[in-house]
Amino acid sequence: MYKIDYVDGDVLRWSLTESGVTCEIDASYTPIIYVSVHGDGDFSTARAAPRDHPAVVQAAIIDERVSFRHDHERMCLSR
């Protein structure tokens, strides 16, 4: 998989194969959102806001890298 699109309520998963590019509807795909807090930020607030959304099935506090060459930092994961 190298790209995800949302079109008319469907999740389209694009993949590169030996014969070219393919696109399939992926009904099992669940996007992940990472939220970090800075300074005096409160993780309970960062976790509660997305957790209460009807489309969110999981909200947790995790340690994750925000990008390459960064140390792990605490953040809220929502999917």
Task: Determine the Cα–Cα distance for residues 26 and 41; give it in Å rounded to an integer.
Answer: 36
Q: Say which DSSP state 53 is in.
A: S
Considering the entire predicted model, what is its pTM?
0.56
> Looking at the predicted structure, is the pLDDT value of residue 21 above 90?
yes
The predicted model gives 40-51 an average pLDDT of: 76
Token duo for residue 43: 């993780």
Nearest of 38, 55, 54, 37 to residue 46 by alpha carbon: 37
Burial of 50 (0-12, 13-18, 19+ CB in 10 A): middle
**Residues belonging to the chain:** 79
Integer Cα distance of 70 and 47 in angstroms: 22
